Amino acid sequence: MTKKLIEQVTSGYQTKFQQKPQHYFFSPGRINLIGEHTDYNGGAVFPCAVTLGIYAAVGPSKDTNFHLYSANYQEKSLINLSRNELNRPKQKNWSDYFCGMVQEIIPQNLELKFGLNIYLAGDLPPAAGLSSSAALELLFGTILKNTYNLSIEKKDLILAGQRVENNYLGLKTGIMDQFAIGMGKQNQAILLNTNNMQYEYFPLELENNVIVIMNTNKPRTLIDSKYNERRKECNSALHKLQKELSINSLGDLTKDQFDEYTYLINDSILIKRARHAVFENQRTILAAKALKTHQLAKFGHLISASGISLAYDYEVTGKELDTLVQTALKIPGVLGSRMTGAGFGGCAIALVEENIVPSFIEQVQTVYNKKIGYPAKFYLAKTTDGPRELKVTI
C-alpha cells in the first residue's frame, strides 16, 4: 500500500502543481486497544499507531500562497490560502486542521519566505473512529516543523493538536488521539496515564493472533454533542463524589471506593457513566499487565469486558457496532472484541487467531450485511511509528 500511495501523491502533486515534490511525509491513524472514554476522566488508555494513515507530497509554492489538495475528500478537495487567510476561524472543512496548526505553532511574527503545495492521499478512512483528525493535525504539524525549521518538540506538537480540537474546533476531546499518533512506535502499544501523562511502551506480542479492524461504515452524526454529553455526565458524577471525597478525577477511585460511595451519586444514569470510567481505568491497567505477561486469553476477556461496559453502562455503541462485536465474539478463535474510539458508529476491533481471519471476515460480513443492510469494511491492524518525513527516491 505504501508504494502505491507514494506513487499516487507523487503523480497527483505533479499534475496539480506542475512541479516535482521535494518532501514526503506520513502520519498514522490509531486504534485504542482498551481504555475508552477514560482520557478526560484522569484514567488510563492503551492505544497504538497503525499503518492506515495519510501520505503527503510537499514542496514550496510558486507564489507565497498555500495550496492544499486532498484526494480523500470529494468536496473542497483543493483549497488555496494566502498567508493572511491562515489566521481565519474554522470553516468546517479539512483545511481547518492546517490553519489550526499554523495558528498554534507558527509564531505570528515569523515571516514565511515561501508558501507550500501539499498533496494528500491515504488509506485511513475519515471520520471512522481511527483518528483521522489527529492524524491530519500531526501530519501538518510535522510538515510545518520540517519545512520552516521550527524548534518545537514532539510533546508540544501533540498538545498543539489537542488545542486545535478544543479551542479552534470546539470539541472537548482528551489527549489520547494526538498522543497515540505522536508517540506511536512499531510493535508497541502505549499505556498512558492521562492523570499525570506518564507512559510506558508495551510490546504488542500477540503470538498467533492478529487485530482485525471492523469499520461499520455508518455515517457518523451527532457525535460531537453526544461526546460532550458523556463528558458532562462524568463531571456531574465527579462533583457529587467530591462532596465527601477529595479526588480530582474519577480515575482516582478504586472499584471498591466507587462502590462504597455510589450513594453520593444516586442517579441511575450518572452511576452507569461513572462506573464505566472507574472500572475501565482499572481494566486497562490489568489488560496491559496481561499483555506483558503473555496472558492473551485474559487480555481478550478484558477487551470484551470493556466493550460490554461501553455498550451497557456508557451507551456509546448502537446496533452497527453491537452487531460487529456480538457476531465476532460468537466465532471460535476470537479472543476478544469491542468498539474503539469515541463510538456511535466508527470502528470495532477483534483479537483473532491469524489462521481463521478469512472465514472470520466472511462470517461477520454476512451477518452484518443482512442485519444492517450495507457491508462493513475490514483491515488488518499493523502498528507503526508516529508522524515522520519519509525518504523517497523516485
Residue ranges in contact with ligand GLA by CB under 6 A: 36-37, 39-40, 173-174, 176-177, 341-342
Which residues 6+ apart lie within 8 Å of 295 measured at CB?
none
58 vs 277, beta carbon nearer ligand GLA: 277
Taking the C-alpha atoms of residue 368 and residue 390, their distance in angstroms, rounded to an integer, is 38
Residue 90 C-beta: closest distance to ligand GLA, Å:
17
* Least spacing, CB of residue 283 vs ligand GLA, in Å: 13
Calpha distance 86→93 (Å, rounded): 13
Give 39 or 252: the residue with its C-beta nearer to ligand GLA: 39
Among residues 10 and 383, whose Cβ is nearest to ligand GLA?
383
User: Is there a contact between 378 and 361 (Cβ–Cβ < 8 Å)?
Assistant: yes
Cell triple for residue 254?
478504586
Q: Phi, psi at residue 353, to the nearest 5°? A: -60, 130
Nearest-10 crossing angle of helices 223-242, 268-292: 100
**Closest distance of CB 119 from ligand GLA, Å:** 26
Residue of 39, 177, 252, 313 marked catalytic: 177
The amino acid present at 37, given as its one-letter code, is: H
Nearest distance in Å: CB 104, ligand GLA: 17
Shortest CA distance to 39 belongs to which of 268, 149, 193? 193
Cross-strand pairs, 199: 192
The answer to whether 322 is a known catalytic residue is no
**Distance of closest approach, residue 318 Cβ to ligand GLA, in angstroms:** 15
Q: Which residue type does 115 have?
A: G
How is residue 293 written as a grid cell? 505477561
Strand partners, 189: 202
* Contact of 158 with 152, CB cutoff 8 Å: no
166 DSSP 8-state letter? I
Minimum gap (Å) between residue 230 Cβ and ligand GLA: 9
Helix, strand, coil % over all residues of the chain, rounded to 5: 45, 20, 35
| Least CB distance to ligand GLA at residue 220 (A) | 12
Cβ(92)–Cβ(143) below 8 Å: no
Nearer to ligand GLA, 37 or 275 (CB): 37
Count of C-beta atoms within a 10 Å radius of residue 152: 15
**Would you say 117 or 162 has its CB closer to ligand GLA?**
162
Nearer Cβ to ligand GLA (79/180): 180
Q: Which is nearer to ligand GLA, 231 or 301 (CB)?
A: 231
Angle at 390 between CA 386 and CA 391, to 5 degrees: 145
Residues designated catalytic: 177
